[in-house]
């Protein structure tokens, strides 16, 4: 425990967010890059270091809090959203971050995840999606592709996977984004936007598990081909991609499709609007090989924040009813024996 340097928020640097614990992911794991980018963003958010709390479940990804020199709670498999909810309700002024994996968040923790999203607590959820169970050494997860051969599916998985963003949208999420472990700048931007959003921010981070699911996202990380496979979303900009920026997305009736850009169809290209839930639904569904993988902020709308509603009721109750212990004891019929 370092008697840490008590700096002004504005003076913090990445180093201030590195804990004294040796980082213990496999060499080459995508988690390193995510950690580094998050540590880079935290000093810039204007929040005193002691007001950050990282809450995680169990999994490789969930070791994250140990490496960030803020408050942290490495909880139970799947339960981080529940524990974070109690923390945030008690201490709304804290900046609460949930770090989770595809198994932690979508398998055992699915229920807590959908409920924290619908309630819209003001927390930031970073889901490290490596499409595998890393810590338990390689079983398929609810995001593994059908047919996946893993330790627990030697003949291939017969499960249909979740699309995390679509599930979150179905659960009434108010902020959806996707980014990639190795896209340093993009990841930082998305994390910043997630923090800026008031309410629950749900960020899917595509993360390579080089031990048990290496190359799961090669199409969007491989330098040579990624431009053809990433659809980088920008607010108010048309959905154009490709090395030559020669392809775009347009609607064909109620279904989106990829088209080769030319002068005749440029105006038909969809323009990104993060307030549009239908667009969010369509983007959440776009998966390779038919579509490029959308990255960036997919959805970002306002809705009342849960803990503010709670606080407001408490304020009102205090104004209306006071809060006197003696009165509470004597509530109802009392009688005195002398």
Partner 1 sequence: MSDGQTTFTKERQEVETVVIRFVGDSGDGMQLTGTQFTAASALAGNDIGTLPDFPAEIRAPAGTLAGVSGFQLNFSRSEIFTPGDHPDVLVAMNPAALKSNLEDLPTGGMLILDQEAFNEQNLKKAGYAANPLTDGSLDRYRVFAVDITRLTTLALKDSGLSNKQVLRCKNFFTLGLMAWLYHRPIEPILAFLAERFGKNAALLDANTRAFKAGLFFGETSDLFTMQYEVPPATIAPGTYRNVTGNSALCIGLIAAAERAGLPLFLGSYPITPASDILHDLSGHKEHDVVTFQAEDEIAGVGAALGAAFGGALAVTTTSGPGIDLKSETIGLAVKTELPLIICDIQRGGPSTGLPTKTEQADLLAALYGRHGEAPAVVLAACSPADCFGTAIEAARIAIKYMTPVYLLSDGYLANGAEPWLLPKIDDLPDFRVEFRTDPSGYYPYLRDAETLSRPWVVPGTPGLEHRIGGLESEYLTGNISYAPANHEQMVRLRAKKIAGIAREIPPTKIIGAESGKVLVVGWGSTYGSITAAVRSLHRDGLSVSQVHLRHLNPLPPDLGDVLRRFEHVLVPEMNMGHLSRVLRAEYLIDAIGFNKIQGRPFKVEEIVTRVKKLVEEEA
Ligand X SMILES: Cc1ncc(C[n+]2csc(CCOP(=O)(O)OP(=O)(O)O)c2C)c(N)n1
- Chain residues binding ligand X by CB under 6 A are 58-61, 77, 101-104, 128, 130, 132-136, 141
**287 binds a second copy, rule: CB under 8 A:** no
Residues near Mg ion, by CB under 5 A: 101-102, 130
128, β-bridge pairs: 101, 205
**66 binds a second copy, rule: CB under 8 A:** no
User: Residues 195 to 224: which contact partner 1 by CB under 8 A?
Assistant: 211
What, of a second copy, partner 1, Mg ion, none, does residue 166 touch, CB below 5 to 8 Å by kind?
A: a second copy
CA distances, 24 to each of 21, 70, 268, 311 (Å): 9, 18, 49, 40
Backbone phi, psi, residue 217, to 5°:
-120, 30
Closest contact distance (angstroms) between CB of 318 and a second copy is 12
User: Residues 169 to 188: which contact a second copy by CB under 8 A?
Assistant: 169-172
Cβ proximity to ligand X: between 75 and 274 the closer is: 75
296, β-bridge pairs: 178
User: Residues 88 to 117: which contact partner 1 by CB under 8 A?
Assistant: 88-91, 93-94, 107-108, 110-112, 115
Q: In 10 A of CB 71, how many CB atoms?
A: 17
Residue listed under structure tokens 């347009």 = 250
Cβ proximity to Mg ion: between 70 and 144 the closer is: 144
Smallest CA-to-CA distance from 38 within 27, 175, 81, 56 is with: 56
SS3 173: coil
127, β-bridge pairs: 100, 204
User: Residues 6 to 25: which contact partner 1 by CB under 8 A?
Assistant: 6, 19, 21-22, 24-25
Residues near ligand SF4, by CB under 6 A: 25-26, 29, 31, 60, 130, 134, 209-212
Give the range of 45-53, 232-240, 259-267, 281-289 binding a second copy by CB under 8 A: 281-289
What dihedral angle (degrees, nearest 10) is formed by the CA atoms of 318, 321, 324, 329?
-130
């Amino acid at each position: 425990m370092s008697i840490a340097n008590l700096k002004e928020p504005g003076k913090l640097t990445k180093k201030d967010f590195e804990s004294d614990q040796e980082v213990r992911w496999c060499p080459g794991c995508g988690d390193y890059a995510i950690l580094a980018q998050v540590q880079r963003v935290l000093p810039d958010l204007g929040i005193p270091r002691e007001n950050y709390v990282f809450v995680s479940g169990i999994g490789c990804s969930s070791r994250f809090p140990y490496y960030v020199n803020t408050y942290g709670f490495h909880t139970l498999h799947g339960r981080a959203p529940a524990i974070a909810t109690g923390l945030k309700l008690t201490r709304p002024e804290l900046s609460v971050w949930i770090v989770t994996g595809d198994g932690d968040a979508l398998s055992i923790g699915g229920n807590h995840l959908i409920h924290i999203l619908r309630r819209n607590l003001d927390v930031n959820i970073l889901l490290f999606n490596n499409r595998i169970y890393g810590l338990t050494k390689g079983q398929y997860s609810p995001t593994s592709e059908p047919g996946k051969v893993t330790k627990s599916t030697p003949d291939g998985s017969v499960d249909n996977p979740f699309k995390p963003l679509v599930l979150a949208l179905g659960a009434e999420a108010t902020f959806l984004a996707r980014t990639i472990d190795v896209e340093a700048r993009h990841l930082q931007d998305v994390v910043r936007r997630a923090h800026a959003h008031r309410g629950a921010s749900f960020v899917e981070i595509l993360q390579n598990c080089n031990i048990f699911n290496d190359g799961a996202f090669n199409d969007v990380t491989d330098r040579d081909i990624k431009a053809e496979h990433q659809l980088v979303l920008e607010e108010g900009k048309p959905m154009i991609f490709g090395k030559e920026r020669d392809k775009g997305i347009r609607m064909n009736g109620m279904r989106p499709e990829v088209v080769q850009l030319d002068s005749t169809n440029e105006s038909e290209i969809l323009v990104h609007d993060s307030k549009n839930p239908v667009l969010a639904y369509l983007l959440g569904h776009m998966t390779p090989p038919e579509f490029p993988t959308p990255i960036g902020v997919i959805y970002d709308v306002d809705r009342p924040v849960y803990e503010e509603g709670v606080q407001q009721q408490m304020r009102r109750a205090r104004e209306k009813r006071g809060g006197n212990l003696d009165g509470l004891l004597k509530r109802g019929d009392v009688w005195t024996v002398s």
